[in-house]
Structure 1
Amino acid sequence: MVKVVRIGSRLDIAGAAVGLAAVAVSLTPSLLPRPAWGQGLVSGLAFGVGYGIGVLAWRGIARLSRGRLPQAAEARAWIVALIGVAGAAVIMPFAVDWQNSVREAVGMPATDGFDWLVAALAFAAGSWLAFAIGRGVAAGYRRLWALISPRMPGQETRPRLARAGSGAATVVAMLVVFSVGLSVLSWLLTLASEHANRQYDPEYVQPTSALRSGSPDSLVPWEQIGQAGVKIVAGGPTADEIELVTGVEAQEPIRVYVGVDVPGSFEEKAQLAVDELERTGAADRSILMIAGTTGSGWLDPAAIDGFEYLHAGDTAIVSLQYGATGSPVSALLTPELSQDGTTALVDAVTAWWNELPADDRPQLVVYGLSLGSFGIQSAYDDIDDLRASTQGAVLAGTPSFTPVWSAAQDARDAGSPYPLPVLDEGLEVRWSDAWGGLETLTGPWEPTRVAYLQHGNDPIVWIGPRVIWSKPEWLEDGQRSEQVSEDMVWIPVVTAFQGVIDLILSTAVPEDAGHKYGNLAVDGLHQVTGDAGLSDEAVERVRFVIEQYDTFSPVSN
């Protein structure tokens, strides 16, 4: 049994050896640089997991030896700690160099070391957590075994078969308990998120313009807009601000938003969004954007504000909040909400748009970031369906589990790199990881354009379950992005393990790296949707304004 380590306790030698090896491996570079607490946490978790694996592996070997090897050999914890410190002294110079190679790849200055106290505390927390989870799983297994095994038939006549049956039944029971616990956790998180969704930031007040949902004229009450929604309908540039930046006459932008607290099915909420578009006169605008939200209902203000600047406010943006939990929780526990809610909105708005006169209706485009990109693409069968149903798409930081994106990646032209593919010489779909990247291909680009924005070091895009057991294509020779450290190598299980921490840190990087796409989205929207006849100088002023925005986190939203 794996026990929680206490001062003065003894440690299994096999477990400690594998644990220390896991710590050394955890120091190798990944997609994004890790601060001291992040590295400490990763190494602590690695030690705990490695320790458990080492103990189990040795006990299995000992059993196969039929008594020739002892079940366990132990040493005092302080001896293991001294060995670990000595090993750290040897490997840390390499670890610092590895981290600096990652920092250089994302455009961050080099560091000369770690905050050792913070790293040590995080290591202790990580290892304690791993040991506690291991101890809990072991205790749960023993209790279920004690409950099931006496009731298993064949104890006297076929004892081996009975033991095997008891073990299988115990594993099944643990999976059932885990599933029930996950469902309860999802329910509790949803309740907490819904409560938080009703706590509005006092900085954002109810809009008075009839062009905004939540206003006195709106079909969507202010009280049902939600925490994320109020920042959208009560934010954004005014017509005067747009004129000041662009130098052209501007209109007040239309923003339609239906919060999760609005009663009814997704289809009913989507129809309400269409009614809001009609009420606000969206059919008379030059361009209409269907924007897919993240898990909490959030939209990147840099992207949607930049869109309105580019088109001098002659715009309408429509969104539907399908949930209130952050994207990581939503993607893990309730991914169907993003699919169902966004698809209902896309279907309703597209059907309404198709009924408008073909020669007198707004340009229809779709936009999504992160889980919003996943939701938008879930509304279409493939790229051809997306292009046939819209007049442009900008999709940023698409999660690795998105089928339409995966199919487009795999269909790339021979010889083009996986991180930035080329499909049909860029005729319909293009990829970019930097401002101006969509223009690097010199061939024609059809008027109905799809732009994928993805940084080579964005873990949301590249880290998925397959990384656990299979070397990803984006780390193969000739496929590696320049935004990924040359020192990064694929290690089974470990790379995925590091990627989990990278997911947490995916916005703790400069604006042109990780999971941050606000500025780049403006370039994508400009290339896909054009502008209101702005001069090059005006476009640069728009870019400058958007670059001054505060850093926002699509990961936690």
Structure 2
Amino acid sequence: MNQNARTPQIAQLACSLFKKFASKKSTAKQPAAPDTAPPAKILPTPVRRLAYGAASKSLKLASESLRLSIIGLELLSDITPALRMARRNRLPHSMAAGVLGAEVATWAAIWPSLLPRPWWVTALNVSIGQAVGHFFAASAAFGLKNALRAAGKRPQDHLTPRLKRNAHWVMGTITLAAMANSVRNQGIQANLVSKSYDRGPLQAAIGVSAGTLGYGVLLLIGEAVQFTVSRLSRQIGRAVPMLVAWPLAVAALIYVAFALSDRVVLRRFIRSASVRAQRLNQSVFPNSMMPWEPERSGSPWSYEPWTAVGAQGRRFLSSGPRAHDIAEIMEFARAREPIRIYAGLTSGRSLRGQARRIMSEMDRTGAFHRDTIIIQMPAGSGWINEWSAAAPEFLTKGNCATVTMQYSILPSAISYVVDKQAPLEAAQLMTSAIRHRLDSMPEDNRPKLYLAGESLGAFAHLDSYDSLEELLAICDGAVFTGPPSMTKFMSKLSPDPGSLERVPVIDGGRHVRFAAAPAHTRHDPFGRSYANSWQRPRVLIAQHASDPIVWWSSSLIYKRPGWMHESTPSTLYADTFHALGWAPIISFWQIGLDQINSLNVPGGHGHNYYEETFWYWDSVLGSQSRVPLTPRLAQRAEKWVRDHPS
């Protein structure tokens, strides 16, 4: 019997039971009362009617609530992975193909990507994955039916109910097995990135459940969109043929959606992010104190005031090893005070003005009289990786100057969207000004120039050059870590035949070497020696296999990249699964979400380039390094950086 038909009967039965109960209570035999007892009071008829009416309404309300709860539970079971394969109670038959597509997409959504996930990332993957699977399957079924009808054939279902039922049970079983395997894979993935694993079956179940609810919300939105398009196409169909009306309705709805998302959502989001970033840029981090060394910007002797360098500038200038730290850690008799120069982004001053301030600070501090000058390009907010900044200071005995300038206050992703030319312009202005000054100096008394940057900072340097030859002509070496996938310079490099995409070999390792671990400075990912010796200028590009910033690209939407299925020898030092699954759109979404979690892993994994940078700088500096880096010295220097967080 239909649930809707059962509900009124439940209400009638409940009312009759209540009346019988009330009748029995009123006619029940009472004990004999003494002659002096007052007569029993009988409620007036209107009051009795009011009481019966209130009771009846309460029961009807409870019955309706029960009915709605049952409907809600049935709908939830209709969209829940595995359960929906057993039976569907409420969703229309027209959604059958979409539900099957969602079930298959669930398998891909919970398959591992680059990093272990918290439950809420699993939920986002499941909701979007199921929606994508539903859309593609429903669209394919709709197109197939229309094609058959256009050919004069009636779509027929040749599957018997028993075959359907068995197929559904098999799919449901696969889903349950995939969920169990997902929990196991998350543990393996956590071990690969040296992260403690504390997410068991409960968190996985919460993630899938929350994602399923999200899928239900997206279904409702989809139905609303479909209803709107149908209504709009009927209205337009009064003036034009229906064959034209439907595409016009879809185009109109897409235009309105994009206009609203741009003006209402995106612009407000960027405005809000800018306000927060401005507030953060004006703040002072707890460990940031004004430096008292004349060799640092922001000091009382500096042309660049402490208040002008921004929060990240204050962090950079107050941190890092001093001369006595370098001498103690690296076991020198004495060391020089390293120079750190930083020009902040202030209102009323252009990037060109910042570059002029950099040159003034370099003249003031005597930077052009040091043996080594390093141009460090920051990430979007002005952040500099302290590991990469401190490493050459330890290795050169402090005989170096690190210079940088802030080009944005926004996080890297937003900064790139808002103004992707700003980091390029900043890098070009600073590099050209310093290179011009160096070229005017006697060659035998000229400091060596090195470039460095992480994430958007690496992009700023690399995409400032049209070719590798141009980059090699401008500097004496470079260390770039975690360059984002949109860095066009990477496509200008020609890997040797047989190279792996994750750690390609360029010209036998003559000038450029990619590294997922320090060992790749000495051998290729197959463990073989490079065909050519590493000549100067040396360029090192570090990119972890688990770094989603490096590997996330728009081509993931429609194409499986080579790095997902290439061989993974042990000497590749890959910290991901050997074979990663790929699905259109879903993999793009998964790796995109991995970026949120890319910093929540230990150093040497994800987007964290920490201890390894000491070895990268040691290999690139060569003769500029004043001490051979040994594991013991590296551990001492690394411990100092860890113990002095910026």
In structure 2, distance between residues paired with 1:90 and 1:163: 42
Q: Tell me if structure 1 keeps the 8 A contact 2:121–2:207.
A: yes
Distance in 2 (CA, whole Å) between partners of 1:379 and 1:232 is 24
Q: Is 1:186 aligned to 2:266, yes or no?
A: no
Q: Which amino acid aligns with 1:314?
A: N
What is the CA deviation profile of residues 117-144 of structure 1, one whole-angstrom value per residue up to 9, with x for unaligned ones?
4334444444455555675677578779
Whole-Å Cα distance in 1 between the matches of residues 505 and 126 of structure 2? 38
How many angstroms apart in 1 are the aligned matches of 2:216 and 2:422? 34
Answering whether residue 315 of structure 2 is matched by residue 231 of structure 1, we say yes
**CA–CA distance in structure 2, aligned partners of residues 492 and 386 of structure 1:** 36
Cα distance in 2 for partners of 1:149, 1:273 equals 65
Per-residue CA distance 1:481-510 (angstroms, 9 max, x = gap): 551312423333232222123222223333
Q: 1:434 to 1:64 in 2, by over 3 A?
A: same
Structure 1 counterpart of 2:177: 90
Aligned twin of 1:458: 547
Aligned to 2:561: 472
- Gapped runs of 5+ residues in structure 2? 1-70, 76-89, 157-168, 524-528
Q: Distance in 2 between matches of 1:552 and 1:68?
A: 74
For residue 420 of structure 1, the aligned residue among 503, 520, 526 is 503
> Is 1:323 equivalent to 2:415 in the alignment?
no
Does structure 1 conserve the Cα–Cα contact (< 8 Å) formed by 2:516 and 2:573?
A: no
Alignment of 1:156-555 (within 5 A): 156=239, 158-180=241-263, 181-248=265-332, 249-261=334-346, 263-408=348-493, 411-440=494-523, 441=529, 443-478=532-567, 481-483=572-574, 484-530=576-622, 534-536=626-628, 540-546=632-638, 549-550=641-642
TM (normalized to structure 2)? 0.74
Q: Which moved more, 1:412-421 or 1:278-287?
A: 412-421
2:445 partner SS: coil
Letter in 2 for 1:420: V
Tell me, what secondary structure is at the counterpart of 1:22? helix
Distance 1:537 1:362, change over 3 A: closer
Q: In structure 1, how many angstroms separate the alpha carbons of the residues matched to 2:231 and 2:343?
A: 52
Please say if residues 311 and 531 of structure 1, whose CA atoms lie closer than 8 Å, have aligned partners that are also in contact.
Answer: no
Matched with 2:81 is none
Cα pair 1:295 1:330 within 8 Å, conserved: yes
Q: Secondary structure at the match of 1:527?
A: helix
Structure 2: how far apart are the matches of 1:146 and 1:218? 68
Structure 1 residues 6 and 206: alpha-carbon distance in aligned structure 2, compared to 1, 3 A threshold: farther
SS in 2 for 1:319: strand
Could you tell me how far apart the structure 2 residues matched to 1:317 and 1:182 are?
36
Aligned 8 A contact 2:299 2:306 in 1: yes
Q: Relative to structure 1, is the Cα distance of residues 357 and 535 closer, same or farther in structure 2, using a 3 angstrom cutoff? A: closer
Mapped partners of 1:253, 1:548: distance in 2: 16
Q: Number of residue pairs matched? A: 534
Deviation at residue 158 of structure 1 after TM alignment:
3.9
Larger Rg: 2
| Whole-Å separation in 1 of the counterparts to 2:505 and 2:639 | 28
CA distance in 2, matches of 1:139, 1:344: 52
Q: In 1, are the aligned partners of 2:131 and 2:218 still within 8 Å (CA)?
A: no
Whole-Å separation in 1 of the counterparts to 2:294 and 2:634 = 26
- TM-score normalised according to structure 1 size: 0.85
- Look up the match of 2:97: 14
Structure with greater proportional helix content: 2
Deviations 1:301-340 (A, max 9, x none): 1111111111111111111111122223333444333223
Deviation at residue 41 of structure 1 after TM alignment:
3.7
What are structure 1's unaligned runs of at least 5 residues?
71-81
The alpha-carbon deviation at position 530 of structure 1 amounts to 2.8
Contact 1:289 1:317 in 2 (8 A): yes
- Contact 1:108 1:510 (8 Å CA) reproduced: yes
What is the alpha-carbon distance in structure 1 between the residues aligned to residue 279 and residue 231 of structure 2? 41
Please state whether the residue corresponding to 1:359 is helix, strand or coil: helix
Check 1:269–1:106 CA distance in 2 against 1; reply closer, same or farther (3 A cut): same
The equivalent of 2:129 in structure 1 is 46
Q: 1:188 to 1:149 in 2, by over 3 A?
A: farther
Residue 473 of structure 1 deviates from its aligned partner by 1.6
Bigger Cα displacement from structure 2, 139-148 vs 354-363: 139-148
Residue 347 of structure 1 contacts residue 379 of structure 1 at CA under 8 Å; is this kept in 2?
no
* AA matched with 1:512: G
Partners of 1:235 and 1:144 in 2: how far apart?
A: 59
Taking the aligned partners of 1:103 and 1:69, their CA distance within structure 2 comes to: 48
**Structure 1 residues 209 and 142, CA gap change in structure 2 (3 angstroms):** farther
- The alignment partner of 2:518 has SS state of coil
The letter for the 1-side match of 2:107 is: A
In 2, distance between residues paired with 1:6 and 1:54?
Answer: 24
The answer to whether the 8 A contact 1:52-1:134 is kept is no
Higher relative CO (Cα under 8 Å, sequence separation at least 6) belongs to 1
Deviation at 1:208, TM superposition (A): 1.9
- Say if 1:293 and 1:299, in contact at 8 Å, map to a contact too: yes
One-letter code aligned to 2:520 = G
Are the aligned partners of 1:310 and 1:542 in contact in 2 as well (CA < 8 Å)?
A: no
* 1:395 aligned counterpart, secondary structure: strand
In structure 2, distance between residues paired with 1:148 and 1:129: 28
Q: Percent identity?
A: 26
Deviations 1:503-531, CA, capped at 9 Å, x for gaps: 22223333222222122222111111136
CA contact (8 A) 2:565 2:580 kept: no
User: 1:275 & 1:377 partners in 2: Cα distance?
Assistant: 26
